[in-house]
């Protein structure tokens, strides 16, 4: 027999896990974008045979600017969506309050189209319209196709920014190490290996979030990252030859 304390702990863990999962998608996509864009900068700098200090400057500038831009975009998008939902919710509450018969008929029509027939149809309508909040929630979802997002816009933006910085910094780590203490390691190949591992991890997480094939998710992320790196390397390589 499981005691009440254990049940309470399990419920709390489940709730915390649910909250974590609410933001994992933004964390994953922030990580993917951060790793690909920063690795592209590193590849371009490597193609141009730039020093570690220059690679670090370019990489960090890109990391901070693009990460902040992406997080602000995620925040504003979520905030706008939430405000839009609240605006239409206020309108639905007003209509329910001042035009109840028309709104009730709309509920009836919605569920008639779903295949409900009398007398069950009238019972469903009565149950839904007996509570204004439930009534409005049904109208928001069924009539307007809008579902309330309970996630914090600030938390969404913050999770995107943190992921962008954490995963996006991986291609730079070997260059930072070389600048601090010096190393005989081949910098760009080591950066490629480290970033490839990051691509595998975030690709796996992306597939987990989308509930799709893990192998496909990893392959897609590796392909996108490699394509961006190859293009950037070629641009850096040829520009360095033409401008030198």
**Residue 51 — pLDDT band, cuts 50, 70, 90?**
confident
Is 128 inside any structural domain? yes
| Residue reference for tokens 């206020």 | 90
Is 6 inside any structural domain? no
| Residue 114 main-chain phi, psi, to 5 deg | -80, -5
Q: How does pLDDT run across 184-236, given as a tens digit for each residue? A: 888 888 988 888 888 888 888 878 777 888 888 888 888 887 887 788 778 87
Query: What is the pTM (predicted TM-score) of this model?
Result: 0.73
Note if the bond before 119 is cis, omega within 30 degrees. yes
Is 100 inside any structural domain? yes
CB burial of 71-93 (b: ≥16 within 10 Å; e: otherwise) equals: beebbeebeeebeebeebbeebe
Instruction: Please tell me the distance from the alpha carbon of residue 210 to that of residue 203, in angstroms, as a whole number.
Output: 11
Q: Which domain holds residue 58?
A: 25-243
Q: How many domains does the chain have?
A: 1
For residue 14, pLDDT beyond 50 = no
Is 3 inside any structural domain? no
Is 50 inside any structural domain? yes
Is 18 inside any structural domain? no
- Tokens standing for residue 239: 């520009």
pLDDT at res. 64: 92
Q: How does pLDDT run across 164-191, given as a tens digit for each residue? A: 999 889 989 989 998 888 878 888 889 8
Instruction: Please tell me the distance from the alpha carbon of residue 143 to that of residue 138, in angstroms, as a whole number.
Output: 8
Is 16 inside any structural domain? no
């Amino acid at each position: 027999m499981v005691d009440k304390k254990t049940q309470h702990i399990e419920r709390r863990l489940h709730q915390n896990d649910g909250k974590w999962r609410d933001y994992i998608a933004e964390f994953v996509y922030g990580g993917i974008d951060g790793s690909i864009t920063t690795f592209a900068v590193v590849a371009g700098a490597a193609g141009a045979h730039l020093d570690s200090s220059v690679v670090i400057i370019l990489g960090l500038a890109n990391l901070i600017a693009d990460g902040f831009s992406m997080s602000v975009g995620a925040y504003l998008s979520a905030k706008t969506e939430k405000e839009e939902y609240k605006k239409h919710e206020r309108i639905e509450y007003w209509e329910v309050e001042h035009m109840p018969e028309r709104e009730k008929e709309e509920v009836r029509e919605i569920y008639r189209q779903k295949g409900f027939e009398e007398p069950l149809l009238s019972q469903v309508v009565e149950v839904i319209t007996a509570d204004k909040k439930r009534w409005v929630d049904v109208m928001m979802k069924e009539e307007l196709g809008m579902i309330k997002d309970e996630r914090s816009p600030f938390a969404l933006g913050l999770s995107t920014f943190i992921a962008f910085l954490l995963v996006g910094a991986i291609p730079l780590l070997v260059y930072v190490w070389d600048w601090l203490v010096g190393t005989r390691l081949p910098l760009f190949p080591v950066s490629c290996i480290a970033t490839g591992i990051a691509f595998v991890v975030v690709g796996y997480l992306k597939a987990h979030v989308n509930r799709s094939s893990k192998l496909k998710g990893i392959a897609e992320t590796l392909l996108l990252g490699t394509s961006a790196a190859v293009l950037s390397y070629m641009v850096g390589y040829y520009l360095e030859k033409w401008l030198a």
